[in-house]
Amino acid sequence: MKKRNFGYLGLLGLLGLLGLITGNAGLYGFFGFFGFFGLLGAGDNEKK
C-alpha cells in the first residue's frame, strides 16, 4: 500500500494534537510539526 507512510505520519499528527490538549505543546508539538510537513511531503510524492 502506498499510504503506509501516511499511517506513521498520521500518528505523529495525533501526538501533536494530544500535546495541545494536555498542554505539552513543547514536547508533542515538535512531532506534530514534522507530522504536518510529512503529510504535505507525502501528498507531493503522490502527485509526481
Contact 31, 16 (CB under 8 A): yes
Query: Which pLDDT does position 1 carry in this prediction?
Result: 44
Local structure of 22: helix, strand or coil: helix
pLDDT tens per residue across span 16-35: 777 777 776 666 667 667 76
Contact 32, 12 (CB under 8 A): yes
pLDDT at 3 over 70: no
* pTM of model > 0.85: no
Mean of all residue pLDDT scores within the chain: 67
**Backbone phi, psi, residue 29, to 5°:** -60, -30
Query: Which pLDDT does position 21 carry in this prediction?
Result: 75
- Summarize the confidence of residues 40-44 as an average pLDDT: 64
Selection from 8, 9, 19, 17 nearest residue 39 by Cα: 9
